[in-house]
Copies of this chain bind each other. A is one copy, B any other.
Amino acid sequence: MVLAIAESERVRGITSPNPPVGCVILDESGKAVGFGGTQQAGGPHAEVMALKEAGVKAQGGTAVVTLEPCSHYGRTPPCTEALVEAGIKHVIHAVTDPNPRAAGGAKRLEDAGISVESGLLEHEVSNGPLRAWLHFAKTGRPHVTWKYAASLDGRIAAQDGTSQWISSETSRKEVHDMRAKLDAIIVGTGTVKKDDPALTARDADGMPLPRQPLPVVVGMSDLPDGAKLQHTALHLRTHDPDVVLAELASRGVVDVLLEGGPTVAGAFLRAGRIDRVLAYIAPALIGNGLAAVLDAGVSTITDAVRLTVEDVTMSGPDLRISAVPQI
């Protein structure tokens, strides 16, 4: 399953609105003979890719897959049929498909005499490569990660507006790698005016990575002439996070990175539309300056938006904190 998760991670960013599934085929003796990840929407699913590599060695073997194989005809034939035809005898999947259209895969396999086991490394998969897609399948809304880089005292810029760079090179590289695995990045018009970002995923030499997310700007103002995003970004003239997310969902966006400033972050927080907070905290103190969030809809301490810390790691000299709002 660890290898299947690796396949799953490898295709993150290209499969939406389909899930980035990973699959490993083991032959009768338990040897890994085929690896696959879901291809771009309309392309073959992970199981089909892995079966293709395994060929006749799949006969009597086991399919280890991050998501319950689908049993419906969409743009591709059901994976369950491919597994049956290849002579697979056992299927082990991590996560059960919550999508009523595609579900029933396990039953279809069992009916065909295949033994099915579910739940292996379920937590790792559902909080890892399939997190955004599972959120989308359950709520109909893209999964929103709010990422920001601030000082220990919560400032994202100094008094004169300078912010380059609060966080370390290591942290900034991490963010570029993350961007390449996402469907869209949102900023506000304020950030466009202040920082003129390109929102591209670049490598250490500044060259664009092969996969690029959709850049999205929200807000009523026009983008300044000559702004890097002027001709590349989807500009949504609204302040309502739900309008933004509905528009993105209709475009097949499942996994969103919110890199907005304090105003946009506040709007998403007030609407309860932040699903994960990813804070890069630089060990520095700035004092008066621009705060990470302005109006979060909190007037008294008991209304604070409480989070649960999922993970804390060092990113170079910075702290990288992943947290989710308590429901």
**In whole Å, how far is A115's beta carbon from the nearest beta carbon of chain B?**
41
Using a CB–CB cutoff of 8 Å, the interface residues on chain A facing chain B are: 150-155, 157-160, 162-166, 262, 266, 269, 277, 279, 281, 283-289, 291-309, 312, 314, 317, 319, 321, 323
Could you tell me the distance between the alpha carbons of A266 and B289 in the complex, rounded to whole angstroms?
13
Q: Nearest chain-B residue to A323 (Cβ)?
A: B283
**In whole Å, how far is A51's beta carbon from the nearest beta carbon of chain B?**
44
Could you tell me the distance between the alpha carbons of A314 and B319 in the complex, rounded to whole angstroms?
13
- A285 near B304 (CB under 8 angstroms)? yes
Known: A304-B166, A312-B319. A299 touches B159 (CB 8 A): yes
- B287 near A294 (CB under 8 angstroms)? yes
Could you tell me the distance between the alpha carbons of A165 and B306 in the complex, rounded to whole angstroms?
12
Could you tell me the distance between the alpha carbons of A313 and B269 in the complex, rounded to whole angstroms?
27
Q: Nearest chain-B residue to A166 (Cβ)?
A: B301
**In the complex, which residues of chain B have a beta carbon less than 8 angstroms from the beta carbon of A281?**
152, 281
- B158 near A300 (CB under 8 angstroms)? yes
Known: A153-B292, A154-B155, A291-B291. A283 touches B308 (CB 8 A): yes
- A304 near B158 (CB under 8 angstroms)? yes
